[in-house]
Amino acid sequence: MFILYSIDTSFDRRPIANWLIFALLVLVFLVETVTWRRTETSVRESLRSKVARSAEEVSDVAFDSVVKKESENKWVMQRFMLDGWKFSAIFGYSWLHLSFWLLLFNLVFLWPMGNAVCAEIGNWQYAVIFLVANLIGGIIHLLIGSGPASGISAAMACIAGMYLVFYPEIPMNCLFFFPRPETVALSTYFVVPFWFVVDLTLAMVGLKGVTYPAHFLGFLAGVSIAVAALKNNWVVMDKNERSLLDVLEKRKTEVEEAVKETTDAEAQEKQEELLERPAESAILEALPGAKKITPEKGAGDTKTGDDFIRFYCVCGQRIKVPKSYAGKAGRCPKCKSLVRIP
């Protein structure tokens, strides 16, 4: 396991919106922890009093199970869990994390990727996209999911998709703990898919509330938003940075050039082969329907015995040259191919 702590890119503006979101998530989790412990303690003491008065024997497992269930019902933050079409839940579920490790997993990736995307598109735009992504993720869960949900995974998927489009070649600095602590610069092509696979895995096995279709659609939405922003010049990358569109365009150009070079090489090889063989047989092979022409009788001309040689290029162009050029090589005026004069 590794911790992603920074990326090697410069910011044109301060990602204040992401800083505030990060701080709010931490603050809400602290409130969750404090209120949960208070609720649990109150419920536990109340149940112990009831059990003592009833003089009944209750196993520790059964007692703890009842305490947990009662605590969930009385917990003040329960109203914000996404478990039904409630206004407070739809807009509040994303700020809750029922596990410290799930919160840490999201924050580790939110800090560097969120800062980069926020600095690129602007604070207000980032805040709107973050909130809308969570809202849509919650609606998708209510439509096709099951059970209560919490967490910012839908928004994180959207941000990860945008980051992949904006910074596909920027190294991401990660801290590894095993086999020994060390920092390693990893490619975006590895880190973002790694996050996405782990996130979907956690969602599919039920460790997170939001269903994996919301994550998948959030990622596609992030990619689409970033592509639209670049194509419409809403976002202009720094001259030293290449977006995913730039990378794909370069590779497309490289492929086209490679194909052109291959085609040119094949054409050159064919021309050289034609020049090495007798001119008439090469022409007749290239144009099976062409009439065999001899220099002594002209080349399809009504006159014979003149001072010109008439013949055809492989492209079909009729060529007329003085007899003094017989046996020499030249270029076809139409296709510019090298031809040997018969």
Instruction: Please check whether residues 209 and 284 belong to one and the same domain.
Output: no
In a domain, 177, yes or no: yes
pLDDT of residue 90 exceeding 80: yes
In a domain, 312, yes or no: yes
Residue 274 pLDDT: 55
Instruction: Please check whether residues 127 and 193 belong to one and the same domain.
Output: yes
Residue 271 pLDDT: 61
Residue 158 CB: number of other CB atoms within 10 A?
A: 30
Closest alpha carbon to 206 in 109, 141, 136, 134: 141
Instruction: Please check whether residues 230 and 322 belong to one and the same domain.
Output: no
The pTM of the full predicted model, rounded to 2 decimals, is 0.67
Total domains in the fold of the chain: 2
Q: Does residue 151 contact residue 210 with C-beta atoms inside 8 Å?
A: yes
In a domain, 325, yes or no: yes
pLDDT of residue 217 exceeding 90: no
Instruction: Please check whether residues 143 and 195 belong to one and the same domain.
Output: yes
- What CATH number corresponds to the domain at position 194? 1.20.1540.10
In a domain, 123, yes or no: yes
pLDDT of residue 290 exceeding 60: no
Q: Which domain holds residue 154?
A: 2-14+78-242
> CB neighbours of 284 closer than 8 A, spacing ≥ 6?
290, 292
Phi, psi torsion values for 302, nearest 5 degrees = -70, -20
Long-range contacts of 331-337 (CB under 8 A, 24+ apart): 337/267, 337/271, 337/313
Instruction: Please check whether residues 238 and 282 belong to one and the same domain.
Output: no
Q: What is the pLDDT of residues 128-154, one digit of tens each?
A: 999 999 898 888 888 876 677 788 888
Please give the average per-residue pLDDT across 215-221, as a whole number. 85
Sign of the Cα pseudo-torsion (16, 139, 234, 188, in order): positive
Residue 295 pLDDT: 40
In a domain, 148, yes or no: yes
Q: What is the pLDDT of residues 232-258, one digit of tens each?
A: 988 888 777 788 888 888 877 777 777
